[in-house]
Amino acid sequence: MEKKKMMIIDGTHVAIEGEKNLVELCRKIGIKLPTFCYHSDLSVYGACRMCMVEDERGRLMAACSTAPRDGMKIFTNTLRIRTYRRMILELLLANHCRDCTTCANNGKCKLQTLAVRFDIGGVRFPNAQPFTMEETYIDESSPCIVRTPSKCILCGDCVRECNEIQNVGAIDFAYRGSKAQISTAFGRPLAETSCVGCGQCSAVCPTGALVINDCTTQVWNAVDRKDTFVTCEIAPSVRVTIGKDLGIGDGENAMGRIVASLHRMGFDEVFDTSTGADLTVIEEANEFVERISTGENMPLFTSCCPAWVQFVEKKYPEFLPNISTCRSPMSMFSATIKEYYRDNLPEGKTKHYHVAFMPCTAKKFECRRDEFKTEYGPATDEVLTTQELIRMIKESGIVFDELEPESVDMPFGTMSGAGVIFGVTGGVTEAVLRKISTDNSRTTLEGISYSGVRGMDGVKEATVMHGEREVHIAVVSGLANASRLLEKIKSGEANYDLVEVMACPGGCVSGAGQPYMPFEAKTERGKGLYSADRVSTIKRSQDNPLMKELYSTVLNGKEHELLHVHYTHK
């Protein structure tokens, strides 16, 4: 039998069982080393030096970039290391904007957290920020992300996320030495770059240098106006992610409490975007069947993710004809709701304002696109993320975990389980397969779920039968994975009929607008959505009785106008 490899950490013997670095090994025995630049799903950068440990010979080494070795002996909390870490924190704080109480990241900032952890009661060095107009510059050009360079600590997390995970390359390091900074190409505003608004850079930023563009003030103002009828919709994934910051646990279905909260805050009607997802399933499945029969513009790419659509527009315009003409569930549902209430506003209300609560920062851009505006204005007046919804609930003084759940409102209060699972990678594909399947038996539905479309892998492949024809499917999350797949399709190396793409790794449960969780912990969120699907009495979108009613009334003769869109090269 092969001898087990061991090392000693702070006097404790630890077995080495495939851990890539000392950070992982320390976490295994309950020691959380401080880090700024380390993320398990990004490459090792080793810039912040907060994770330094000391060996028995007094040598210091970065735990994130040091692999465990048999017989190794290290210490993680010596006086020398504590002094070293405090010095790093003081130097960072001396070169950092300290308007913490008004920062969007207040309470979530890792620099703030570590300063408290290491009892930094004062900084011995003068504050070097800000000095120049360039350093005080705040880039608010993007509707999705606000960038404040004076709060950057040069950890490089955003750069690696944007380049390695998303393959967008909107930001990178510029200049050298003391003048080094994170910048866009030629210092352009973020909105004028290749940025697609996915927001994953803000999800990994440890400070407030990159944050979500907060639009809660506009929504509060609308709720407060007496002449305005305010409706809202809640994306499927929000129900299983909001609980992390509100006391009920990550992955638990909190939809009923969200509805109750929004009613208390003054929203007149609250709906579930899963209903809009049912519309998307029906339209996208019909489009897929039509394209299979004609063979034109294959494979069909899903169009639910606005960051993915922008990615194709900006980097792979040759694939634009392959993008489904279907609007996203949010845009379909918003247009339907606006159309319904155009002639059905309650007495005393002269204006209609519709809000969408989404997991995604790119949705803020989507709702502002000219393609989704009519002569009456935008279909979705404003998009708020899960993080913004959490702030609104806390600001209202609502004790979320003590609320009695409430149901969504009529007349759009019916949805299927197929619509709910849209929030996790593979969910769109599974919902479409349920639609094009002629057999509604439980065995068939289970067979679809085990066909290979489920799971958090970045690229999944499945083959299913549609009549006498084999249908080849790819499910992709993360834009770097999507880019590699597109290159294979271009070269002829890969051939598919249907490709589902979500910009955020793992799908909407990992959206940048969600409370942050390491990727490996997000599996529970996906399980929460599948659990909600299991208890749903309606499994397929076409079995939702509301669909037949909508197509015969509100959507009658307006299906293309309200449910479809065509994108062009940007």
Q: Which residues are catalytic?
A: 284, 287, 304, 324, 363, 366, 371, 508
CB hemisphere CA count around 514 (13 angstroms) = 32
Name every residue whose Cβ is closer than 8 Å to that of residue 344 and which is 6 or more positions away in sequence: none
Instruction: Report the alpha-carbon distance of residue 78 to residue 160 in Å, rounded.
Output: 31
Give residue 492's region: left, alpha or beta (phi > 0; psi -120 to 50).
left
Closest CA to 273 of 363, 348, 347, 186: 363
Sheet containing 351-358: order of strands: 269-272, 228-234, 351-358, 382-385
Could you tell me if 493 and 474 are in contact, meaning their C-beta atoms sit under 8 angstroms apart?
A: no
Could you tell me if 212 and 104 are in contact, meaning their C-beta atoms sit under 8 angstroms apart?
A: yes
Name every residue whose Cβ is closer than 8 Å to that of residue 197 and which is 6 or more positions away in sequence: 142, 143, 144, 145, 306, 307, 310, 361, 362, 364, 365
Preceding omega of 130 cis (within 30 degrees of 0): yes
Could you tell me if 240 and 252 are in contact, meaning their C-beta atoms sit under 8 angstroms apart?
A: yes
Facing residues of 374 across strands?
A: 377
Could you tell me if 145 and 162 are in contact, meaning their C-beta atoms sit under 8 angstroms apart?
A: no
Closest CA to 386 of 417, 426, 356, 347: 356
Q: Per 3-state DSSP, what percentage of the chain is helix, strand, and coil (rounded to 5)?
A: 40, 15, 45
228-234 and 351-358 beta bridge pairing? parallel
Helix (H, G, I), strand (E, B) or coil at 461: strand
Closest CA to 108 of 176, 206, 192: 206
Instruction: Report the alpha-carbon distance of residue 170 to residue 159 in Å, rounded.
Output: 8
Structure tokens at 362: 């790119």
Three-state secondary structure readout of 402-433: HCCCCCCCCCCCCCCHHHHHHHCCCHHHHHHH
